[in-house]
Amino acid sequence: MDEPDTRHRVIAWGTGAVGTELLTAIIDHRRDLEIVGARVYSADKAGRDVGALVGRGPVGVTATTDVDEILALAADCVLYTPRNTDIDEVCALLASGKNVVTTAFLFHPNRTNADVRERLLQACRTGDTTVHGAGLNPGNLSGVLPLALSGMSRTIDKVTLQERADWTVYDSTSITFDNMAFGRPVDEISPTGTDFLAFNSAIFSEQVWLIADALHAGVDEVTATVEAVPAENDHQIFDRLLPAGTTAGQRWTWTGRRHGEALVEIETLWTVGGEYPRHWPKPRHGWTLTIEGDPSMQAHFFSLASFTRDADMAEHVRSANVATAMQVLNAVPSVIAAPAGFATMADLPLIRSHTGFGNR
């Protein structure tokens, strides 16, 4: 492979499920990107070579828990994939001259909390940098894909994205239990029930606003509702017990309305433990995007490790992390080239696979 003319220096902020896919993709495929740092949280990851951390050979970069060390690095872009977002951290990164791509938040900055928006924008101005949020959902399926399909629309009446996911197989129980609150009492599950649920609900609301704004829906409100369903039996989920009677199903709906009429909707049918509420709709696993209009269109998306070779469940589950990670990794050059400030999925050019078939 030829050496690229310019190499962008990147920092991985988070080396969890998504961060690992970012790092392995860079090490295996991206000669145009150079890993110059990695911010970890766990003490047992600190001090280790980043390549070794993700199951590859050494790359000569040591992972650190020291934020100041990361901020002092010269880098073009930070791949920001922590479990919980810290706005002060992101502002510090942007102000220090590092662009940021993230799977964690900021899917439609114009509709995010005004104080957060202003702080981030000021940091972008200070550092002459850009921040971009994307991923799978929120991300490509609820941002890029509806807009891409809308290119075939004369008029649109309603856009709906329905996600059906069985999180039983997702091995990051910190996310499913600690963040998403599976295994908690059902009355704790609400759009303001915990800090994370409020945060998560807000990012899906942003995503509804993004589609509504980009497609001239004139939406005047986006609301969130959730129905939490208790487990009938105990379930062991990796390292956690989900006791009977606690939350095993969450049906969320974020709805953008104009004068009371629902125009843009994201619905999730999430379960852990293998029970499925009898009264819920029964779509296929994955994501179903429906655009009602002229013409009406429907697309179903599902990712696997492969449609042809055998793969185990863990590998299939990982495929969604790969997709999430690649949507932001492939956006890095466009984000670096973008004007300072916010770059949404509606602003950036179509993000394509950088590596593709690999025959450059």
Ligand X SMILES: NC(=O)c1ccc[n+]([C@@H]2O[C@H](COP(=O)([O-])OP(=O)(O)OC[C@H]3O[C@@H](n4cnc5c(N)ncnc54)[C@H](OP(=O)(O)O)[C@@H]3O)[C@@H](O)[C@H]2O)c1
Interaction site with ligand X (CB under 6 A)? 14-19, 40-42, 45, 81-84, 103-104, 135-139, 172, 174-175, 324
Which is nearer to ligand X, 156 or 334 (by Cβ)?
334
Nearest Cα residue to 16 out of 239, 180, 197, 172: 172
The torsion angles phi and psi of 132, rounded to 5 degrees, stand at -140, 130
Strand partners, 224: 254
Q: Which residue is nearest to ligand X (CB)?
A: 16
Residue 164: enclosing H or E segment and its boundaries?
strand 155-166
Which is nearer to ligand X, 82 or 146 (by Cβ)?
82
Minimum Å gap between C-beta 81 and ligand X is: 4
Minimum Å gap between C-beta 233 and ligand X is: 26
For tokens 């609400």, name the residue: 190
Which is nearer to ligand X, 19 or 273 (by Cβ)?
19
Say how many C-beta atoms besides its own lie within 10 A of residue 257's C-beta.
Answer: 18
Asked if residues 298 and 174 have their Cβ atoms less than 8 Å apart, the reply is no
Minimum Å gap between C-beta 289 and ligand X is: 15
Asked if residues 61 and 49 have their Cβ atoms less than 8 Å apart, the reply is yes
Say if strands 77-80 and 286-294 run parallel, antiparallel, or are unpaired.
unpaired
Instruction: Give the CA-trace dihedral at 137, 167, 170, 131, to 10 degrees.
Output: 20
Asked if residues 254 and 209 have their Cβ atoms less than 8 Å apart, the reply is no
Which is nearer to ligand X, 106 or 228 (by Cβ)?
106
Minimum Å gap between C-beta 135 and ligand X is: 2
Which is nearer to ligand X, 23 or 156 (by Cβ)?
23
Minimum Å gap between C-beta 42 and ligand X is: 4
